[in-house]
Amino acid sequence: MDILELIQQRQSSRGLFDPERRVPEAHLRRILEGARWAPTAHNMQNFEIVVVDDRRVLDELSRVPVETSRVFVEENYEQLSFSEEELRQKKVGLLGLMFPPSWRTRGVKPRIEEGQAHGVLGDPVKMSAAVLLVLYDPARRAPASEHDALGMMSLGCVMENMWLVAQSLGVGFHVHSTMGEGHVEQEVKRILAVPERLKIGYGVLLGYPKEPGSYLRVRRDVEDFAHRNRFGERRG
């Protein structure tokens, strides 16, 4: 497949995965090879990946308590569109229909408790074929990189490489940033025996969707963000 076509088709698999379908070991190896060859600042390769595919461990992870962040809900609400037509016009953000009712209704203050029906990592983790936990050592800062911005960019490159390989193989891929937050991170690290010195960058859920699903994806046109020679002078 043409690389640009692959990039255009890449998307988050937001539905539940089929727990009976395992990702073939050869496919998993190719996804990890993608991570291996990701560009990283100064070639530091400051990442480790824990592959979790034992159903007992996935079940234990699924019971880790979580709490929806008020900041997330309120700031996410500001990015939502409330119809497909609105989203097409804005070209950025998400369609509110994928969120709980009060989170997607214009003029209604989002109620956090609507996103806390289970209060645990839950079925998305439990039903995944595998979870990849991407770790990094915060003491290994990329040289002269304030707040290790280059290191964070490197973890993003690792993510994108794995995502594109997974997309090419027909494997569903969903990033789970909650695993790197507060008490959730500490509990996940305990379950997986992750050394204290390492932090969780993010988790990745892998698998095959139980039901084919799609949602409206939008992007700005090239002319909306590309400038020629000077900011504000658009490409012809």
pLDDT digits (tens, 9 = 90+) for 97-142: 878 887 777 777 777 777 655 678 999 999 999 999 999 999 999 9
Say whether both 144 and 203 belong to one domain: yes
Say whether both 60 and 137 belong to one domain: yes
Q: Per the structure, how many domains does the chain have? A: 2
**Residue 169 is part of a domain; what is its CATH number?**
3.40.109.10
CA–CA gap between residue 219 and residue 181 (Å, rounded)? 29
Say whether both 51 and 141 belong to one domain: yes
Say whether both 28 and 141 belong to one domain: yes
Tokens of 90: 């804005």
Answer whether 127's CB lies under 8 Å from 190's CB. Answer: no
Name the strand (E) or helix (H) holding 184: helix 182-192
pLDDT in tens, 196-206: 999 999 999 99
Question: Is 223 inside a domain boundary?
Answer: no
Question: Is 9 inside a domain boundary?
Answer: yes
**Residue 164 neighbours by CB under 8 Å, 6+ apart:** 6, 7, 10, 34
CA–CA gap between residue 87 and residue 47 (Å, rounded)? 36
pLDDT at 118: 61
pLDDT at 117: 55
- Confidence (pTM): 0.91
Alpha-carbon radius of gyration of the chain: 19
pLDDT at 15: 86
Say whether both 25 and 58 belong to one domain: yes
Would you call 128 helix, strand, or coil by DSSP?
coil
Say whether both 91 and 60 belong to one domain: no
Say whether both 8 and 100 belong to one domain: no
Q: How confident is the model at residue 70 (pLDDT cuts 50, 70, 90)?
A: confident
Burial degree of 121 (CB within 10 A; 0-12, 13-18, 19+): buried
Pure H helices in 14-91:
25-36, 55-62, 70-77, 84-90
Question: Is 14 inside a domain boundary?
Answer: yes
Mean per-residue pLDDT of the chain: 91
Name the strand (E) or helix (H) holding 207: strand 199-207
Question: Is 17 inside a domain boundary?
Answer: yes
pLDDT at 215: 79
- Region 200-222 average pLDDT: 90
User: Sign of the C-alpha dihedral, residues 167, 80, 92, 145?
Assistant: negative
Domain that holds residue 89: 68-115
Question: Is 221 inside a domain boundary?
Answer: no
Say whether both 60 and 145 belong to one domain: yes
pLDDT in tens, 55-65: 999 999 999 99
Q: How confident is the model at residue 88 (pLDDT cuts 50, 70, 90)?
A: very high
Question: Is 224 inside a domain boundary?
Answer: no
More confident residue, 15 or 208: 208
What separation, in Å, do the N-terminal and C-terminal C-alpha atoms of the chain show?
A: 29
Number of Cβ atoms within 10 Å of the Cβ of 69? 15
Answer whether 136's CB lies under 8 Å from 195's CB. Answer: no
Say whether both 100 and 10 belong to one domain: no
Say whether both 136 and 161 belong to one domain: yes
- Region 25-31 average pLDDT: 98
Percentage of the residues of the chain whose pLDDT score is greater than 90: 74
CA–CA gap between residue 89 and residue 226 (Å, rounded)? 18
Say whether both 110 and 130 belong to one domain: no
Question: Is 175 inside a domain boundary?
Answer: yes
pLDDT at 115: 64
Q: How confident is the model at residue 31 (pLDDT cuts 50, 70, 90)?
A: very high
Say whether both 108 and 146 belong to one domain: no
More confident residue, 234 or 145: 145
